[in-house]
Chain A
Amino acid sequence: MMSYKLVKYNVKNSIKSIIIYYCIIISIIVGMALMNKFSGGYGYTSGTETSSIIFLFVLGLNFFKENFYFAQANNISRVEYFKAAAIAILQIGLSMAILDVIINRIYNIFGINPTMYDMIYNRFFSLDTNRELWIQSNSMQTLFGTVSLLFALYIVALAIGMFITLIYYKCNKIMKLVVSLGPIAIIAILVNISKNYPKFSEEAVTFIGNILGLSTSNAYMAVITFICMFTIIMSFVYLLVRKAVVKRD
């Protein structure tokens, strides 16, 4: 019961940032549509949802501390806090996925803006060579597939943001340094592996292609993979939240 009230708080707390983000996005889109109209050009943009992924990652980075402190001020248990955070992430992810598809469909009236789903999982030809071949599909399958893919991507972006914040919140200075250098070390190792073991890296690319359904053009494989990723990340978030305490300023 308490977690639903906290969900309401979490969502309301994020809504201002989301509105500002959409105001900016809509302004850019309107500006581009007007430019297309007056220049007589044939404007082309693609994958604008990437900006939503970046925005949600940043929102995730700011999703923990204030909400957790407020939950603590109201003597709400950590478990309830975690439930509320997870539900709020799902709500925000789904709402933004639907909104982005609606904005995309409206924008496509004035220009060309295929989504990531269109480019990766639908029949899509490069517009430089086969411009006239891409036609926006509004079939239920495409709409559902697009929303599902965006939803799965968005919740993962939010969860990763929250997870990183929690790691930094819980770690001491040395651990923070280790965590910060971690991605650089991982990239260095991967580059090294791909140079020295080309077969291994080929297999890794094939594996990633399979789990994201790239080879079979099956978006639902990617949706399942991202939902699994979300579940794993949120499990780590739970482990960190379970023992989180308010820090003295």
Chain B
Amino acid sequence: MGTIKVTDVSKKYGDSFAIDNITLNIEENKIYGLLGRNGAGKTTLLNIINNRIFLDKGTISINDKSFHDDKSCLGKIYFMAEQDLYPQSMKVKELFNWTKEFYSNFDMKYALELSKKFELNINKKIKELSTGYSSICKIINTMASGAEILMFDEPVLGLDANHREMFYKELMENYIENPKTIVLSTHIIEEVAHLIERVIIIKDGKLIKDESVEELLEACYCVSGLNKNIDDYIKDKNCISVDEMATFKSVVIVGENGDSEKNEQKKLDLEVSKVELQKLFIYLTSDGGIK
């Protein structure tokens, strides 16, 4: 197991909705990308799922059990929050020991192994860690927790490129060895695009997409070529993004890339490629996108 059902969930702060009537199913053993612009409601949604803040309306169930029916169902999730919730005077190794108390499947060997790989000094106190190593400490604790569902809110905050790469690699290895449900909330879309299977996009507290990355990307394509040819090609098409460089243009088009389109592309000498998730995200969450 490792499923989460969010039904008609809303959360208001004053007069504005932080989360507006969201319904979604997080399926077991899949990697989700939770995407949205700043203030879209990603952290609020994760906090609501983990009962760290209270919802105004709706229900949440984990493994088909609502929090009200079974208070222990939250123990199936380990949520790495962006905020520092660990006691600052606690040493990293003490943190691992305590997490083992609360998460019986915590893998101490794996935690120590990851600490070595990331060069995290486990004898240091939490308050002595830099921003990057604080994130690393939280990442290791989450990955070794042994929980059925892992949630990461901005996990790579303050991490350098090497450590980010190492995190993605370790996360994939961990997932392949022990499949589990993973939710990654991040702004660095291009880095996680190859990891995530499904994408949840939130805009102004509303859910605008909840589908597989493959399906989402298959619904559009990118063509590039000479300005004049591109202009001819996009005349009757739904073009969502245009990049211009000297005499060349590259555009993203929403719609099927069928035989007639392929013939036209050949005739106009255009090159076709896959759309980047980040480009699609920018379109979907910009003011011109879905409202």
- In the assembled complex, how far is the CB of residue A78 from the closest CB belonging to chain B, in whole angstroms? 8
Inter-subunit contact B102/A5 (CB<8 Å): yes
A249 to B134, CA, bound (A): 16
Inter-subunit contact B75/A246 (CB<8 Å): no
A13 to B78, CA, bound (A): 22
- In the assembled complex, how far is the CB of residue B97 from the closest CB belonging to chain A, in whole angstroms? 10
- Which of B50, B53, B98 touches A75 (beta carbons < 8 Å)? B50
Q: Interface segment, B80-88, B152-160, B183-191?
A: B80-88
- Beyond A77-B71, A245-B54, whether A9 also contacts B98 by CB under 8 A is yes
Inter-subunit contact B102/A76 (CB<8 Å): yes
Q: Is A74 an interface residue (CB 8 A)?
A: yes
Inter-subunit contact A245/B53 (CB<8 Å): yes
Residues of A within 8 A of B67 (CB): 77
Interface of chain B, helix or strand or loop or mixed?
loop
- Beyond A70-B87, A249-B83, whether A80 also contacts B71 by CB under 8 A is yes
Q: Encode contact with A along B93-113: 1 for CB under 8 Å, 0 otherwise.
A: 000001101110000000000
- Beyond A69-B85, A70-B85, A248-B83, whether A75 also contacts B54 by CB under 8 A is no
Q: Is A174 an interface residue (CB 8 A)?
A: no
Who on chain A is nearest to B138 by CB?
Answer: A73
A207 to B81, CA, bound (A): 52
- Beyond A72-B52, A243-B54, whether A2 also contacts B102 by CB under 8 A is yes
A79 to B54, CA, bound (A): 14
* Total chain B interface residues with beta-carbon distance under 8 A: 24
Who on chain A is nearest to B51 by CB?
Answer: A77
Residues of B within 8 A of A72 (CB): 52, 85
Residues of B within 8 A of A69 (CB): 85-87
Q: Is B123 an interface residue (CB 8 A)?
A: no
- In the assembled complex, how far is the CB of residue B284 from the closest CB belonging to chain A, in whole angstroms? 27
Who on chain A is nearest to B87 by CB?
Answer: A66
Q: Is B72 an interface residue (CB 8 A)?
A: yes
A8-33 CB contacts (< 8 Å) to partner B: 8-9, 13
Residues of B within 8 A of A245 (CB): 52-54
A249 to B83, CA, bound (A): 8
A2 to B104, CA, bound (A): 11
A6 to B50, CA, bound (A): 18
* Total chain A interface residues with beta-carbon distance under 8 A: 22
Interface of chain A, helix or strand or loop or mixed?
helix
Inter-subunit contact B101/A246 (CB<8 Å): no
Inter-subunit contact A74/B103 (CB<8 Å): yes
Inter-subunit contact A13/B51 (CB<8 Å): no
Residues of A within 8 A of B52 (CB): 72, 245-246
Who on chain A is nearest to B79 by CB?
Answer: A75
A19 to B51, CA, bound (A): 36
Residues of B within 8 A of A13 (CB): 87
Who on chain B is nearest to A77 by CB?
Answer: B71
Residues of B within 8 A of A66 (CB): 87
A72 to B87, CA, bound (A): 12
- In the assembled complex, how far is the CB of residue B248 from the closest CB belonging to chain A, in whole angstroms? 46
Q: Is B139 an interface residue (CB 8 A)?
A: no
Who on chain B is nearest to A8 by CB?
Answer: B101
Inter-subunit contact A73/B85 (CB<8 Å): yes
Q: Encode contact with A along B33-68: 1 for CB under 8 Å, 0 otherwise.
A: 000000000000000001111100000000000010
A245 to B72, CA, bound (A): 18
Q: Is B136 an interface residue (CB 8 A)?
A: no
- In the assembled complex, how far is the CB of residue A169 from the closest CB belonging to chain B, in whole angstroms? 15
Residues of A within 8 A of B78 (CB): 75
B161-195 CB contacts (< 8 Å) to partner A: none
Who on chain A is nearest to B74 by CB?
Answer: A75
Inter-subunit contact A77/B86 (CB<8 Å): no
Closest A-B pairs by Cβ, 7 of them? A73-B85, A75-B74, A74-B102, A69-B85, A77-B71, A5-B101, A66-B87
Residues of A within 8 A of B (CB): 2, 5-6, 8-9, 13, 66, 69-70, 72-77, 79-80, 243, 245-246, 248-249
Residues of B within 8 A of A (CB): 50-54, 67, 71-72, 74-75, 77-79, 81, 83-87, 98-99, 101-103
Known: A77-B71, A79-B71, A249-B83. 7 other contacts (CB 8 A): A2-B102, A5-B101, A80-B71, A245-B52, A245-B53, A245-B54, A248-B83
